[in-house]
Structures are given as C-alpha cells and as structure tokens.
C-alpha cells in the first residue's frame, strides 16, 4: 500500500521528522533548491502538512496549491499561523497540540512575573558586572499586596491561576464570558480587569479576534504601579502603545515572551531597565517540545489510520 505523502514546509524537531519518515512519505520542502518547482510536481499527491510558525501562514494560497490536502498538523497550542476557518470550509482538518504544554507555559509565566517584579535578570547583571562592591542593589517592587488579572482563562490560564493561589494573591480574570464554578472575580472587559488589578497576564490565542486586545486604554487602566506579562502572542498587545506607556510611566514594568515581529525586538524595549525580555520560550523545554512533537505525529497517524484526529481545533471539530 502506498504511504500517504506529507509536506513539511520548514524545519521541525528531529523527533518529528524521524517519526513521520517511519510512517509516511515525507517531503522536506526547505531542503529543495527550487521549492516552487518541487511543489508543482508533488502537490497533487500531498495529503497532509506538518507545520510550525517557521513555515509562515498556512492559508488559502497553500490550500489552492494542494488539491489533495486533508489535514494540517500544527506544532503548538496557538494556531494563528493556520487559517483554520478557510481550512474547515474546504473540509481540511487542522490540529494543534493542547494540554501537553500547559504546565510548562504556566511555570514560565510565574517565573517571568517574579523576574519582572523583583528585577532578577537585572540583579544577575549587577553581580556579573562587578557593581556589588559599589553598593547594594536597588530595592524592587513586590508581588505582596497585588491582585493579578488574567486575560484568557483557558487551560493555561487556569494553570497559572492555580500557581498564583500558592502565592496567596487574589486572582481575577476576563474572557469572552463568565465561567461557571470559577472562584475568581470576573470582569466583562479588558479595561475593567486592568483597572481592578496590579498585574495583568495575557494568555489568549493570537489572531484577528485578539489583535491589540491590550491597547493604550487598557495600559492606562492598569496604572503607574501596574505590570504587564505577555505569554500569549505579540499581536495581542499594541506594541507601540506599550513602549509609550513604559517610557511615560503609565505602567511600571513589563515581562514579555512574545513580540509583534519575532525575532525582531524594538531597541526601545531592549534598553528599558524595567522590562524583562525572553525569546518566546514559554513551552521550550526538551520534555515539553518532545511531547508536542509526538502529538503532531499522533494526529497525522490517527487521521490516516482512523479518519479521526486526536486534537482538532474548534473550527474543525465537527468535521469527520
């Protein structure tokens, strides 16, 4: 029996490559000297795509070129790199990798929050640069006495909230609707949440629906002692408005794992003393990335073995 043909547009972890090659005919598009010419010949036979954000946006341009495409297996819980609605309209299933990275991202979020409030990276540089003998490191802000607001109380947001309970701080949230049986205070708008808290954590999906959800008005409501933590997508925050808010003292500090134009980070952010910057590493541990890769493979295997993927995205969960 002929193996299904899978396209991998951009380099993915070796464990995914090896596992897919063991089960399918895998086409590594990034290795082709003329990708367009290669794709023109292979496209009619490609039934699946394994993609990450390095592949760019998988949308109607791809769907038009791949007439036999049945499934796009996306590496990551966020899937704004795939036009899932357009895929579903054509009967193409899109999958992502939820669940396996919730704890890792939640752990990183708490670490980024503490690093931002207590100036941990700055204190490390203070010691490394030999400045300690000149005098003590400046006193930092604290988590004590603060209320933390979470925008996006999904699986990762709930994991963050559970960890915050251990720090004995009040938690509030905003989402599309109030969730039953949730003990945290709900606020109907991002502005209302920001006005009620001292720390604002963004952990919502990217895409048009959440673009610039955190804007100038939200930052103004957060206030001069407020701290923003973004572990969602760079598009969720109006980055120029954030830079202005930090420069003008509209908010106190920010911890950012994501940016508007990754991997390019504005120089204004890189030189600000009360900003902690990370290179989008929320789920970037060996263990978690391996689990994410395994779920990409398992979705493709399940689809071609049974016709039912393991973790279809909501736009596609009604497809066969």
280 has catalytic annotation: yes
CB 172 within 8 A of CB 199: no
Of the candidates 316, 313, 317, the one whose C-alpha atom is nearest the C-alpha of residue 92 is 316
Of the candidates 97, 108, 102, the one whose C-alpha atom is nearest the C-alpha of residue 154 is 102
Catalytic entry in 28, 118, 212, 280: 280
Cα distance between residue 88 and residue 37, in whole Å: 27
CB atoms closer than 10 angstroms to residue 37: 10
Of the candidates 270, 279, 227, 272, the one whose C-alpha atom is nearest the C-alpha of residue 247 is 272
Cα distance between residue 196 and residue 222, in whole Å: 8
- What 3-state DSSP class applies to 168? coil
Of the candidates 99, 94, 100, 102, the one whose C-alpha atom is nearest the C-alpha of residue 50 is 94
CB 193 within 8 A of CB 170: no
Residue given tokens 């205070």 in the structure block: 185
Catalytic entry in 233, 274, 289, 315: 233
DSSP label of 283? T
Catalytic entry in 85, 125, 262, 308: 262
Cα distance between residue 175 and residue 192, in whole Å: 12
Cα distance between residue 271 and residue 237, in whole Å: 19
| CA–CA–CA angle 194, 200, 205 (5° rounding) | 105
Cα distance between residue 201 and residue 193, in whole Å: 11
Q: Which residues are catalytic?
A: 233, 262, 280
């Amino acid at each position: 029996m002929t193996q299904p043909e899978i396209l991998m547009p951009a380099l993915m972890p070796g464990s995914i490559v090896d596992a897919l090659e063991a089960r399918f005919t895998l086409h590594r598009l990034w290795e082709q000297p003329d990708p367009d010419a290669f794709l023109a010949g292979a496209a009619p036979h490609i039934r699946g795509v394994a993609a990450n954000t390095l592949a760019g946006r998988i949308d109607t341009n791809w769907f038009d070129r791949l007439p036999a495409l049945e499934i796009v297996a996306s590496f990551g819980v966020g899937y704004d790199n795939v036009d899932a609605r357009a895929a579903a309209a054509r009967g193409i299933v899109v999958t992502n990798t939820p669940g396996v990275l919730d704890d890792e991202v939640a752990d990183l979020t708490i670490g980024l929050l503490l690093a931002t409030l207590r100036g941990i990276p700055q204190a490390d540089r203070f010691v490394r640069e030999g400045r300690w003998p000149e005098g003590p490191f400046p006193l930092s802000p604290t988590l004590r006495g603060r209320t933390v607001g979470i925008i996006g109380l999904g699986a990762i947001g709930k994991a963050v909230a559970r960890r915050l309970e251990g720090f004995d701080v009040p938690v509030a949230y905003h989402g599309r609707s109030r969730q039953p049986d949730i003990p945290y205070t709900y606020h109907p708008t991002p502005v209302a949440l920001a006005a009620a808290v001292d720390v604002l954590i963004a952990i919502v999906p990217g895409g048009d629906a959440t673009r610039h959800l955190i804007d100038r008005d939200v930052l103004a409501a957060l206030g001069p002692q407020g701290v923003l933590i973004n572990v969602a997508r760079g598009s969720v925050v109006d980055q120029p408005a954030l830079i202005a808010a930090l420069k003008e003292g509209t908010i106190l500090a920010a911890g950012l794992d994501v940016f508007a134009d990754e991997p390019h980070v504005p120089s204004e952010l890189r030189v600000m003393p009360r900003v902690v910057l990370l290179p989008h590493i929320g789920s970037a541990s060996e263990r978690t990335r391996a689990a994410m890769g395994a779920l990409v493979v398992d979705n493709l295997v399940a689809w071609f073995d049974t016709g039912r993927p393991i973790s279809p995205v909501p736009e596609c969960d009604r497809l066969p």
